[in-house]
Amino acid sequence: MCGIIGYNGMSNAENILIKGLKNLEYRGYDSSGVALMNEDKIHIVKSEGRLAFLEQKLKSKNILSDMGIGHTRWATHGKPNEANAHPHTSQDRKFTVVHNGIIENFPIIRKELEKKGYKFCSETDTEVIPQLLSYHYHGDIKDAMQKTFVSLEGSFAAAILCKDDKDTIYVAKKASPLAVGRGNRENFISSDVGAIAEYAEEAVFLDDGEFAEIRKDRISFFDFNLKEKEKEFLKIAITPEDLTKGKYEHFMLKEIYEQPEKIKNLLKSKIKNNKIFLDEIAELSLEIMKAEKIYIVACGSAYHAGLAGKIAIEEMCRIPVEVDIASEFRYRNPPVNEKTPVIIISQSGETADSIAALRLANSKGSFVIGIVNVLPSTIANESDYVIPTKAGREIAVATTKGYLTQVCALYMLALHIADIRKTLTDESIRFYTEELLQIPDKISEILSDTSEIKTLSQKYSCKNDFFFIGRNTDFAVASEASLKLKEISYINSSAYPAGELKHGTIALIEKDTPVFALCANERLFKKTLSNIEEVISRGADVLCISQKGQIDKEKYNALEIPHCTDIFLPLLEIIPMQLFAYFVAENKGCNIDMPKNLAKSVTVE
């Protein structure tokens, strides 16, 4: 997804902007550009394709500047070419803008401006912003900003340079994230706080309907009525190690290997008297007692984490749970109210559909618990209560540790709620807590020897269509395993509840169709085994994923994982599946950390 970076300080802006854009690369992009202010003018340099092309162009121009803005574009309106790349300027070259989000009423604005004689050079929605700024500008930049941004529908995080003010970057924000970072006589902006973490000491996110003026030694905030506001800066909690691959070939592999430690730290921080206690939601006991149903709402892998969470919450807390895809939930008029808490799960905290779902739930009186990794972020800021997943910065587009910590946080939440509602005995809570505490070592055991998975990946890399089947917890994992394979190796695959296959989809099974049968769930093992037989008899090439000693390895191809109580199986069973997807993508020479067409944080709906 698009990324914004901005710098105003004493150093060479070009270097800092390029570094910032590199930090944003992982989000996915197809073109990039910068605008650098110096004494003569605003210099704009743009390029299609990789950032290295932009870097080369900039080097040859040798522009001296200590203030500028930059952008990586992920095409929405208009092809990914140089003309459509940001920054965009007004016809009179007064205003230069980079923008994330979508201006929904841009066709009407563009038509009106064209009638007034304005000429447009791109197909983008963004170009209406500098043109409109120029139209409304009569010597007062903030006045022009107010008139422009209140007339825009949709979402925007925009950074603006104006020729008439060579010392300031102006920003505006609605429904698309924008952070302002503060350093020592140098200030920054970014759509992703991680991109400025190595420079800025502290940061604050703009709220919807806010402007900011970024000078070298001063930052001022305003609402859309131009009333000045105070905002509190927070220390940025990202370490330099988070930003490098270390000894690993890819960020994805590094992040897979970080999982035992991340789960261990998450659990340890919440154990009191051999029980899980989530202090973040300590004051929620009354509302939790009254809860009649829980909604879990998320996108992508976070939605799959929700599938695992549903099973645990229903089993342990005896509350019905509905898991919803955020882009569906937000337009469905769901019957949520003060008795239906809504859990929003998001690694980035910035997914547009999840933010919209959160706001809808809030407007209907539900209290919202955000399970979020990136803090601060919009979802963390707007949730009534936040459970941080503490996975650290996740760079690979395909989530691994982000997903796993979400699942773990949901289990912790289930145990916390079960304790409050007394739906589990103290003894059971202790049993589950101890089981959870053993998970990190079991993940390490899987990670300690990946040779079998590597060999399997060689066998399967040439296949085109995969099925992942399973029941209950196994199905929750199958859904995520299938997505991982699709995302990074571009192999078509579907996840199916094993018992549902026979109602149509089994027609697709033929000789050598690869079927990964997740059958580790002890309670349903025999049931899944019948489904395995059904596909084997139709010629499928089946690989079972089972607990150690569970399956007859003479008879079935099986990949074994350490023993674990059924409910927590997703925390283990997904590990070999993440590795499998990784090795297949490696065998196929795919761009593992930045798969085509995908973005780390999807800030448009």
Q: Which residues are catalytic?
A: 2, 600
Enter the DSSP assignment of 195. Answer: G
Q: Which residue ranges make up the site for ligand G6P (CB under 6 A)? A: 299-302, 346-348, 351, 354, 397-399, 598, 600-602
Instruction: For the CB of residue 354, give the shortest distance to ligand G6P in the complex, in Å.
Output: 5
Phi, psi of 468 (to 5 degrees): -115, 120
Instruction: For the CB of residue 326, give the shortest distance to ligand G6P in the complex, in Å.
Output: 8
Which tokens go with 493? 């695959």
> What is the spatial distance between Cα 91 and Cα 121, in angstroms, rounded to a whole number?
9
Comparison of 37 and 602: residue with beta carbon closer to ligand G6P? 602
The one-letter amino acid at 528: T
SS in 3 state form for 20-86?
HHHHHHHHCCCEEEEEEECCCCEEEEEEECCHHHHHHHHHHHCCCCCEEEEEEECCCCCCCCCCCCC
Closest CA to 252 of 598, 499, 559: 598
Comparison of 70 and 402: residue with beta carbon closer to ligand G6P? 402
DSSP H helices in 247-293: 251-257, 259-268, 285-290
> What is the spatial distance between Cα 380 and Cα 382, in angstroms, rounded to a whole number?
6
The label of the residue with tokens 């980079």 reads 98
Phi, psi of 550 (to 5 degrees): -80, -35
> What is the spatial distance between Cα 321 and Cα 178, in angstroms, rounded to a whole number?
33
Is the four-CA dihedral 539, 543, 546, 552 of positive or negative sign?
positive
Instruction: For the CB of residue 257, give the shortest distance to ligand G6P in the complex, in Å.
Output: 18
205 and 189 Cβ atoms separated by less than 8 Å: no
Closest CA to 468 of 451, 485, 443, 449: 485
Instruction: For the CB of residue 2, give the shortest distance to ligand G6P in the complex, in Å.
Output: 14
> What is the spatial distance between Cα 581 and Cα 491, in angstroms, rounded to a whole number?
10
Instruction: For the CB of residue 267, give the shortest distance to ligand G6P in the complex, in Å.
Output: 20
Which tokens go with 494? 């579907």
Comparison of 319 and 380: residue with beta carbon closer to ligand G6P? 380
* Chain position whose Cβ is nearest to ligand G6P: 300
Using DSSP, state whether 521 is helix, strand or coil. coil
280 and 343 Cβ atoms separated by less than 8 Å: no
Comparison of 31 and 400: residue with beta carbon closer to ligand G6P? 400
First to last CA, the chain: 11
Comparison of 137 and 580: residue with beta carbon closer to ligand G6P? 580
297 and 357 Cβ atoms separated by less than 8 Å: yes
Comparison of 94 and 390: residue with beta carbon closer to ligand G6P? 390
Instruction: For the CB of residue 23, give the shortest distance to ligand G6P in the complex, in Å.
Output: 17
Task: Residue 238: count other Cβ atoms within 10 Å of its Cβ.
Answer: 18
Instruction: For the CB of residue 397, give the shortest distance to ligand G6P in the complex, in Å.
Output: 5
Comparison of 126 and 346: residue with beta carbon closer to ligand G6P? 346
Instruction: For the CB of residue 329, give the shortest distance to ligand G6P in the complex, in Å.
Output: 13
Comparison of 141 and 477: residue with beta carbon closer to ligand G6P? 477
- Rounded (10°) angle between helices 300-317 and 401-421: 20
